[in-house]
């Protein structure tokens, strides 16, 4: 059965509502309930972990049997499991909803399957309405679901001959102002920014995302990895968000804990040692390499040992885009094994 015009408008509204919810371990989801005549009678969205899901939030605004025979329009397939809240598919069935329209399938092994449960109860279900808009809204969450951890971007700036610093250790600034502004824009799109204690002690970075002298509205959470103590007067101590410290070299445990904290995207800026460690551990999904047309020579390479003993074991990447930034060039690349896995499994 085709989706009606009123239902299309309702999905557009549900996507607006979904964007009000917080980013985190749970996806941003919106829901609209339509009367049999096609009028909006209730709206809802997910307000955060542990709170009612969007469908239940919308149903809670109705009295008695007001939802009987209604249509629920939801940005994500109603869940089919009991966690901190009950299954939304069951809530819709018990409310008497006769039709459900949703944008994206729920990729969760435990939470998926709501559509099948609804159909089994005699509810008419339509999937895929405005799917691309819904996917764009929660793309980070979908990637984190597929990976089972945050999506990790490793960034560095280098000279044309692959150096991250001059012989005396100075590195500010290899790249120009356009490249640095691009870095800050990308920081503002990440949930966390990761550095090592070596970078903190050597450069005292603020780890904020800035637009000129002003802070972007969204600021990544500073994450520091390493056993050395961060000084009490370090610039990152004045960051708008409280920093997270890990006195360990076990990057897998760090990433697992960040995932548990609801971090979906992480931006690694911690210098050659940390960048190389993430790549060697197989935890890097994307590379941002800012290349400046300068030559430095010496042994201060942008990367160190990444566990490649021979050319046959080289880590192959696919360059997705070359971006000119003033005199500099940005290479955006993904590891080929990740591209192949995504092609084989499909990303919903």
Give the up-direction half-sphere exposure of residue 273: CA atoms within 13 A in the CB hemisphere: 8
What Rg do the C-alpha atoms of the chain give, in angstroms?
23
Nearest CA among 220, 266, 226 for reference residue 246 = 226
Write down the catalytic residue from 43, 55, 129, 269.
55
Q: Provide CB contacts within 8 A for 284, sequence distance 6+.
A: 152, 153, 154, 268, 275, 278, 335
Contact 101, 71 (CB under 8 A): yes
Instruction: Determine the distance from the C-alpha atom of residue 179 to the mean position of all C-alpha atoms in its chain, rounded to a whole number.
Output: 22
d(CA 125, CA 123): 6
In the chain, the DSSP E strands lie at: 30-34, 40-45, 71-76, 99-104, 124-127, 151-159, 192-196, 210-211, 214-215, 221-225, 244-246, 265-268, 286-292, 317-325, 328-335
Contact 157, 275 (CB under 8 A): no
Residue written as tokens 């990637």? 143
**Cα distances (Å, whole numbers) of residue 186 to 4, 181, 230, 258, 339:** 39, 9, 25, 19, 21
**Cα distances (Å, whole numbers) of residue 85 to 54, 106, 214:** 11, 16, 40
Active site residue 55: yes
The structure tokens listed for 23 are 């980013």
Residues noted as catalytic: 55
């Amino acid at each position: 059965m085709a989706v009606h015009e009123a239902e299309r408008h309702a999905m557009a509204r549900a996507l607006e509502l979904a964007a009000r919810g917080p980013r985190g371990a749970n996806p941003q989801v919106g829901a609209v309930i339509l009367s049999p005549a096609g009028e909006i009678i209730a709206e809802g969205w997910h307000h955060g972990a542990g709170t009612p899901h969007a469908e239940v939030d919308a149903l809670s605004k109705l009295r008695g049997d007001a939802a009987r025979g209604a249509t629920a329009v939801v940005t994500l397939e109603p869940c089919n499991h009991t966690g901190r809240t009950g299954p939304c598919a069951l809530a819709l069935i018990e409310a008497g909803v006769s039709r459900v329209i949703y944008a994206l399938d729920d990729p969760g092994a435990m939470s998926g399957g709501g559509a099948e449960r609804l159909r089994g109860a005699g509810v008419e279900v339509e999937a895929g309405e405005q799917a691309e808009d819904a996917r764009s809204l929660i793309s980070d969450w979908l990637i984190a679901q597929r990976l089972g951890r945050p999506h990790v971007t490793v960034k560095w700036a280098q000279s044309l001959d692959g150096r991250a610093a001059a012989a005396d250790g100075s590195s500010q600034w290899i790249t120009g102002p356009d490249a640095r502004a691009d870095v800050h824009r990308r920081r503002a799109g990440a949930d966390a920014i990761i550095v090592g204690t070596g970078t903190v002690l050597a450069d005292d970075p603020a780890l904020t995302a800035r637009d000129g002298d002003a802070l972007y509205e969204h600021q990544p959470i500073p994450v520091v990895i390493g056993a050395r103590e961060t000084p009490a007067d370090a610039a990152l101590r004045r960051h708008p968000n409280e920093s997270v410290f890990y006195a360990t070299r076990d990057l897998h445990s760090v990433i697992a804990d960040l995932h548990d904290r609801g971090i979906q995207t992480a931006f690694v800026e911690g210098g050659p040692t940390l960048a190389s460690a993430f790549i060697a551990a197989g935890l890097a999904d994307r590379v941002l390499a800012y290349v400046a047309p300068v030559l430095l020579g010496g042994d201060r390479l942008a990367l160190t040992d990444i566990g490649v003993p021979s050319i046959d074991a080289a880590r192959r990447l696919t360059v997705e885009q070359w971006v000119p930034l003033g005199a500099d060039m940005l290479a955006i690349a993904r590891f080929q094994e990740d591209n192949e896995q995504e092609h084989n499994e499909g990303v919903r």
